[in-house]
């Protein structure tokens, strides 16, 4: 239909574009001329580009032959009246009041194009997602199958296809039991139907572990998960077989390593503990926990501040902070009070790191070296005693004979002097001091002499009771109160009863002198089960031994009372020969505590 457009605005341009496209299939517009007085009007510019005729005179355009349709777009009523007068006979006229039909057509075309574009883009996106999903589905290392509600295969991934040796076309429509017949899972596949039914009944995923028979032992984790449609109804089930053989083997190795580690920790005789980066215990072995009267689990998750007394916590925190700061191991000599007694520990602390090399905690290993320190002290004391003993024996023998001569001549002179002679008093002084020298010489000989021990199995309680029977008769104990607490669960010990009794008497005499013959002496017996030793404790309420003198009291010739200082040295030597030790400390309320420790008798001993 040959058409003339009157008006070169945007509306005219839109009609030209509409006519040039495929949208107006039922109405073909053959635009022969576009009219507008503005040569730069949009419709005129487009018409020129498309090779259409344009003009500024409406009458000239209407004179073109064969015009069938005139579209008026100016909106000018005078133009419309003039067109009604001038349009050729048989030519249709559409004024601007009806031109909205074309706008609707234009908008419809644009909407269609937009929808087509969206659909095209959506189809591309869906195809891309489908390819990505398929690629992801096929690249999964697990065996994956999609089943319908009748347990028939809809789809399998590449891993499943390779495992069963069948393609999707062959596998589709069959059950998993059928396609797994030729695989190592053939016998186990019989467990699938009940599992499948359970998923259908509950609507929840189910899983189990399959183990193939030896020697090709393998483990598979089998999972069935329901697929829900828009109505939340089960529309199928996804089955997954994940080979976990390596995981199981690794788990076994980890469990074995943990068991070995726990066995090592629990069997160790040293204290072993591990704290995390925040200073909380994560591992404490039994021997360490028992030393503080607790169980290992009591420490877990707690800090030393929560478990130990302030003095011990302060020491541990100081040493831990140094290890953390230096990021290097350190060795410390640490002292802990265990069962009321100071114990010496040689402690190694070292930092722990995680897989990134960062600080993750501190491990502590502490060894009880109290016995070694005691042995060292005993060795030093024994060395001193041996040296002094040799010297004492030599001195005693050298001066004993001259003293005997002095004493004999003094006695003779005294007998020759008449009664009342003032010289007799001087001779008595010579005799008394000579006798005192002989007593010193006798002590020296006792100190130096190492008579063979008369060893027998004797109870500590028996020795204490016999010692007390002797003490009660001595005048030094007239105003002294003696308390005794004897354990009824103490084993026998192998010792020379007379010599150990001599030590007890010596220590009690010293206690009575320290209290100036007025006070309380306590005798106790006990059994040190941890070290298998019998204990005899002598405690007084006197002034005690100054801390700075404790290390010297057992040295020969050391005395604070003006005596020869051999009593405690002799006592030390006797107990040392019994493979024992004498400990000394000051009681909390004052007074001295002497503890005699002698090994308990074994069954095979004398």
CATH number of this structure's domain 373-448:
1.10.287.130
pLDDT tens-digit readout, 388-440: 666 666 666 567 668 777 888 888 888 888 888 888 888 888 888 888 777 66
Radius of gyration of the chain (CA): 57
On whether the pTM is more than 0.75, the answer is: no
Distance CA 199, CA 148 (A): 12
**C-alpha atoms less than 13 angstroms from C-alpha of 598 in its C-beta half-sphere:** 32
pLDDT value, residue 283: 93
Q: Residues of the chain with pLDDT > 90: what percent? A: 33
Question: What is the torsional sign of CA 569, 571, 574, 576?
Answer: negative
CB burial of residue 126 (10 Å; 0-12, 13-18, 19+): exposed
The pair of structure tokens assigned to 538 is 């002598």
pLDDT band at 153 (very low <50, low <70, confident <90, very high): very high
Cis peptide leading into 152, omega within 30 of 0?
no
Q: Which distant-in-sequence residues (6+ apart) come within 8 Å of 601 by Cβ?
A: 457, 491, 492, 493, 494
Q: Which distant-in-sequence residues (6+ apart) come within 8 Å of 526 by Cβ?
A: 487, 490, 534, 535, 537
605 has pLDDT over 80: no
pLDDT band at 446 (very low <50, low <70, confident <90, very high): low
Mean pLDDT of 434-449: 66
Give the residue, 467 or 105, on which the prediction is more confident.
467
How many helices (H) and strands (E) in the chain?
19, 22
Residue closest to 150 by CA, chosen among 176, 169, 171, 168: 176
> Hey, how many other C-beta atoms are within 10 angstroms of the C-beta on 302?
14
Average pLDDT, the chain: 84
3-state secondary structure of 424: helix
The CATH number of domain 268-368 is 1.10.10.10? no
The pair of structure tokens assigned to 48 is 């020129």
Residue closest to 164 by CA, chosen among 152, 150, 176: 176
CATH number of this structure's domain 456-599:
3.30.565.10
Residue 362 · residue 324 · CB < 8 Å: yes
Residue 274 · residue 361 · CB < 8 Å: yes
313-319 CB contacts, 8 Å cutoff, 24+ apart: 317/279, 319/347, 319/349
Distance CA 463, CA 473 (A): 17
Residue closest to 491 by CA, chosen among 540, 440, 527: 527
3-state secondary structure of 496: coil
pLDDT value, residue 471: 79
Which sequence spans correspond to the domains of the chain? 2-108, 140-248, 268-368, 373-448, 456-599
269 has pLDDT over 70: yes
Residue 484 · residue 468 · CB < 8 Å: yes
Alpha-carbon distance values, 26 to 90, 413, 575 (Å): 20, 172, 130
pLDDT value, residue 585: 85
CATH number of this structure's domain 140-248:
3.30.450.20
Residue 227 · residue 237 · CB < 8 Å: yes
pLDDT tens-digit readout, 485-523: 999 889 999 998 888 888 888 888 888 888 888 899 999
**C-alpha atoms less than 13 angstroms from C-alpha of 523 in its C-beta half-sphere:** 21
Distance CA 192, CA 579 (A): 75
The pair of structure tokens assigned to 421 is 């002679």
pLDDT tens-digit readout, 107-132: 666 777 788 888 888 888 888 888 88
CATH number of this structure's domain 2-108:
3.40.50.720
Tell me which H or E stretch contains 403.
helix 370-416
Burial 527-539 (b: 16+ CB within 10 A, else e): bbeeeebbbbbbb
268-368 shares the fold of 140-248: yes
3-state secondary structure of 343: strand
Give the residue, 522 or 451, on which the prediction is more confident.
522
pLDDT value, residue 392: 62
pLDDT value, residue 561: 54
pLDDT tens-digit readout, 41-62: 998 999 999 999 999 988 888 8
- Tokens 């010293």 belong to which residue? 510
pLDDT band at 274 (very low <50, low <70, confident <90, very high): very high
The pair of structure tokens assigned to 527 is 């059994």
């Amino acid at each position: 239909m040959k058409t003339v457009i009157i008006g070169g605005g945007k509306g005219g341009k839109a009609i030209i574009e509409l006519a040039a496209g495929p949208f107006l299939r039922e109405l073909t517009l053959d635009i022969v001329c576009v009219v507008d007085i503005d040569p730069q009007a949009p419709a005129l510019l487009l018409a020129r580009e498309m090779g259409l005729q344009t003009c500024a005179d409406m009458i000239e355009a209407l004179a073109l032959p064969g015009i069938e349709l005139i579209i008026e777009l100016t909106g000018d009523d005078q133009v419309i009246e003039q067109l009604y007068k001038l349009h050729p006979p048989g030519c249709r006229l559409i004024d601007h009041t009806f031109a909205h039909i074309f706008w609707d057509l234009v908008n419809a075309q644009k909407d269609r194009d937009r929808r087509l574009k969206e659909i095209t883009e959506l189809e591309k996106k869906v195809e891309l997602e489908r390819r990505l999903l398929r690629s992801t589905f096929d690249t999964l290392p697990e065996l994956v199958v999609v089943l319908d509600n009748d347990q028939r295969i809809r789809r399998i991934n590449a891993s499943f296809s390779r495992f069963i040796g069948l393609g999707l076309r062959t596998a589709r429509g069959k059950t998993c039991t059928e396609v797994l017949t030729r695989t190592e899972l053939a016998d186990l596949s019989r467990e699938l139907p009940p599992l499948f039914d359970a998923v259908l009944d509950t609507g929840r995923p189910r899983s189990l572990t399959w183990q193939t028979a030896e020697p090709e032992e393998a483990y598979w984790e089998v999972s069935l998960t329901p697929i829900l449609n828009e109505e939340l109804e089960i529309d199928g089930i996804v089955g997954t077989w994940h080979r976990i053989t390596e995981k199981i083997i690794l788990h076994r190795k980890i469990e074995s390593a943990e068991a070995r580690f726990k066995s090592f920790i629990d069997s160790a005789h040293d204290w072993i503990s591990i704290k995390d980066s925040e200073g909380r215990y994560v591992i404490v072995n039994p021997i360490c926990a028992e030393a503080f009267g607790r169980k290992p689990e009591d420490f877990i998750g707690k800090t030393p501040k929560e478990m130990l007394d302030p003095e011990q916590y302060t020491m541990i925190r100081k040493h831990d902070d140094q290890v953390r700061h230096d990021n290097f191991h350190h060795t410390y000599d640490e002292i802990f009070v265990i069962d009321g007694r100071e114990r010496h520990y040689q402690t190694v602390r070292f930092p722990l790191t995680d897989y990134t090399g960062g600080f993750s905690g501190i491990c502590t290993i502490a060894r009880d070296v109290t016995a070694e320190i005691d042995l060292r002290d005993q060795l030093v004391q024994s060395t001193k005693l041996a040296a002094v003993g040799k010297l004492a024996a030599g001195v005693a023998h050298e001066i004993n004979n001259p003293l005997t001569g002095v004493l004999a001549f003094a006695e003779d002179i005294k007998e020759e002097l008449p009664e009342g002679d003032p010289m007799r008093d001087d001779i008595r002084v010579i005799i008394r001091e000579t006798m005192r020298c002989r007593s010193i010489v006798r002590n020296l000989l006792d100190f130096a002499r190492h008579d063979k021990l008369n060893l027998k199995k004797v109870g500590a309680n028996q020795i204490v009771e016999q010692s007390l029977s002797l003490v009660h008769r001595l005048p030094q104990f007239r105003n002294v109160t003696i308390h005794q607490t004897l354990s009824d669960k103490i084993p026998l010990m192998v010792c020379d009863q007379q010599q150990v009794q001599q030590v007890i008497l010596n220590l009690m005499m010293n206690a009575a002198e320290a209290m100036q013959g007025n006070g309380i002496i306590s005798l106790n017996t006990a059994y040190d089960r941890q070290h298998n030793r019998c204990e005899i404790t002598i405690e007084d309420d006197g002034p005690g031994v100054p801390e700075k003198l404790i290390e010297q009291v057992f040295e020969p010739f050391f005395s604070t009372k003006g005596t020869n200082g051999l009593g405690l040295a002799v006592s030390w030597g006797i107990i040392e020969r019994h493979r024992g030790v004498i400990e000394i400390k000051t009681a909390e309320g004052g007074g001295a505590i002497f503890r005699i420790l002698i090994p308990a008798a074994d069954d095979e001993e004398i």
